Structure 1
Amino acid sequence: MAALNLLTPRAQAHQRWDAIRHPQTRIVIDEDAVLLPRGDIEPLLGIAPFGHRAAGRPADLLAALPPLPQSLGAAITDLATRFAALMGCDTVRVRLEGVTGNACRKVHADYTDLRLICTLAGPGTDYTLGDDPDAPLLRIATGAVALFKGHQFGAGHRACMHRSPPIEDSGERRLVLVIDTPARHPMS
């Protein structure tokens, strides 16, 4: 007899996110896409480049950001709440960026514990599972949520190398959400 899966979609996602705690896991990609209405994204892409930052409790972040479409605000609050719960922190730091150039174009690993990156529009983040920055890269799907382990995650853990896809002079624009823990990222 087959076992029944009694986990809700949210519980299943939480279980997937918990996999980042395994020492051999460098990245967790949650394919349950954050799909926003194109009409909510287009105006933001039209004013790119920009960068908005906020820090605080997940429920309070939107007050520190400029007015955003309701669907985007709900996605930011939900992801920040889930990320804070995963990392056991009361506050998080959020960046919402409209990108038109080659930001972070070199393959690198972050000096952080854990970073959530979700490309809401445009090409997703490139990554490799190894330690060679010249290795072939994989690309995360637009709308997928990725948890990237950084150098400071903990002893016995290895960071995930990644980069922003090169888009300068291509006419492409990206809308990227980044969430970090408070202790690792000063707001500079």
Structure 2
Amino acid sequence: MPAHTTTTSAPVSAARRELLRAAGHEAGHAVLMAVLDFPLYEAVIGVSRPLFGRPQARGHVHETCTGQDEPPPEGQVQDAVLTYLAGAEAQARWMHQQEGMDLETARALAIEDYAGNDYATARTLLRRSGGSLGWATARTRALVTRHWPAITRVAQALVRHRRLTGPQIHRLIGR
């Protein structure tokens, strides 16, 4: 099967595919934030449909109701890096499993098209902490794998509701 085909029998619209990808991405951030004991206010996803071009997914996870998340304290910098990297890794796994895309291709696409700001922030934090992107990437992949069932539940709920509160996310993952 070619890498770009979907594994489902029904065709998925471009807008729906973007929404599913955003759900996987934001669920990755949210679940790792919860697991690593960061504050978690909400996760939100949506899709904009420009007049020309493909639909664009959007989403965010906020720690506070103001949307102005604070830099992590010194002792949590490396864990914060993992939460930034988790979005792209979860999205890539989602694309691999749901769309049949090769995992390495999905990782490259998730980073290039969806996670540029996340990776820029992660790199800044790593410079501040003296951490390694290689270590952080490997640790993020392990955590996403370990918590994949929870990430899937949160992603599915995000697709249904478009917004989940921190307490709703904690209930979905059993925390």
Query: TM range, normalised to the smaller chain?
Result: under 0.3
Q: Counting helix residues as a fraction of each chain, which structure ranks higher?
A: 2
Q: Counting strand residues as a fraction of each chain, which structure ranks higher?
A: 1
TM-score by length of 2: 0.25
| Bigger radius of gyration among the two | 1
